[in-house]
Amino acid sequence: MKTFKIAAIPGDGIGTEVVAAGVEILHEIAKREEGFKFDVDDFDWGGDYYRKHDRMMPEDGRDQIRNHDAILFGSAGHPDIPDHITLWGLRLAICQPFDQYANVRPTRVLPGITSPLRHVNAGEIDWVIVRENSEGEYAGVGGRVHQGSPLEVATDVAMFTRQGVERIMRFAFRLAQTRPRKFLTVVTKSNAQRHAMVMWDEIAAEIASEFPDVTWDKMLVDAMTMRMVAKPQSIDTVVATNLHADVLSDLAAALSGSIGIAPTANLNPERTFPSMFEPIHGSAFDIMGQGIANPVGTFWSSVMLLEHLGEQQAATRLMVAIENVTADARFHTPDLGGTATTREVTDAVINAIRGANV
């Protein structure tokens, strides 16, 4: 029997509620399958930890989770702590040193869920957005001088390395190749950003020649937002920079029905370090503690975690169970217009796992 060691980092707000539900689901799926189980370690890092220790995670935090097989993350964010501290102190402090350079964000309108796009039915949006997750606009390069004076200067420098762009392009083309349509859209902004984004376009064309069976096209990021709304069926796999994909994937999540559904994988494809799986949403302090957070984004992230661990059958079983549950409006949380609680959705998915044949 294989044992997968999972580091659970619930973080803040509803992160604690949805990760608890996600861990229950992982144990349940392991019971239903044969051959593996989970050993889950909980880490109390995040905003409350910061208030006690003046940092979001311990100094040796990464060493504590370096040898785990995967990380299940909730959300970092606290109303009393500036967002750049919570983001850089925990999520990015894990993603960047662990070289989780491929951030993968699937978007689908699941059965039973209504897209805000009137002309889109379940199954008609089926995208995967690949976000460059290690450099670009999030490189952390820049600074401020003469703070508070009229001479104040602030810079944020987007850093694009040939190696960084090549590896994310190759990852995206390879992913597109595994999908039925074999179609990739490379998002860019090379009209305005005439250095790095022009290199981005050139490298896209170079890498494309390695994948002759993948069709690809190129879109400026502003035009891409319109295409996502006006012609969603024309999109399949998408690759974009750290910032562009961040924005596009929030739009994608909203178009799929609710931000509470959307999952993410932060992958270190070479597996030198553990990869991290998390719902796309934040801490949602407006609904924390009420037991009504939608756990589906975390469950779908757990599907991606199982796929990454090579447990494809378990992943398929969990996805089938999730879709059986979303198809039934009795199990819709308030973000989907329903009245179900996190507990009720979790129990429904547990029952569906027990019944799901794959």
Please give the residue ranges that form the binding site for ligand ATP (CB under 6 A).
14, 75, 77, 259-260, 281-287, 293-294, 297, 333, 335
Q: Which is nearer to ligand ATP, 237 or 264 (CB)?
A: 264
Find the shortest distance in angstroms from Cβ 226 to ligand ATP: 23
Q: Where are the beta strands (DSSP E) in the chain?
A: 2-11, 36-42, 70-75, 102-108, 126-132, 136-145, 153-159, 183-188, 215-220, 237-240, 263-267, 275-279
Ranked by CB distance to ligand ATP, the top (closest) residue is 282
Find the shortest distance in angstroms from Cβ 276 to ligand ATP: 16
Q: Which is nearer to ligand ATP, 204 or 321 (CB)?
A: 321
What six digits make up the tokens of 160?
């694009």
Q: Which is nearer to ligand ATP, 278 or 335 (CB)?
A: 335
In angstroms, the CA 96 to CA 266 distance is 10
Find the shortest distance in angstroms from Cβ 180 to ligand ATP: 29
Helix, strand and coil percent figures for the chain, each rounded to 5: 40, 25, 35
C-alpha distances in Å from residue 263, one per residue of 73, 206, 216, 252: 11, 30, 24, 11
Question: DSSP readout, 163-186?
Answer: HHHHHHHHHHHHHHHHSTT-EEEE
Find the shortest distance in angstroms from Cβ 124 to ligand ATP: 23
In angstroms, the CA 138 to CA 346 distance is 35
Q: Which is nearer to ligand ATP, 184 or 284 (CB)?
A: 284
Q: Which is nearer to ligand ATP, 61 or 260 (CB)?
A: 260
- The DSSP element (H or E) to which 228 belongs, if any, is helix 221-230
Find the shortest distance in angstroms from Cβ 37 to ligand ATP: 27
Find the shortest distance in angstroms from Cβ 337 to ligand ATP: 11
In single-letter form, the type of residue at position 257 comes to G
Find the shortest distance in angstroms from Cβ 327 to ligand ATP: 18
Q: Residue 354, SS3?
A: helix
Q: Which is nearer to ligand ATP, 12 or 69 (CB)?
A: 12
205, 100 contact by CB (below 8 A): no
Find the shortest distance in angstroms from Cβ 307 to ligand ATP: 21
Q: Please, which residues have CB within 8 angstroms of residue 195's CB and are 6 or more apart in sequence?
A: none
Q: Which is nearer to ligand ATP, 102 or 280 (CB)?
A: 280
Q: Which is nearer to ligand ATP, 244 or 332 (CB)?
A: 332
What six digits make up the tokens of 71?
């990380």
β-pair partners for 7: 41, 71
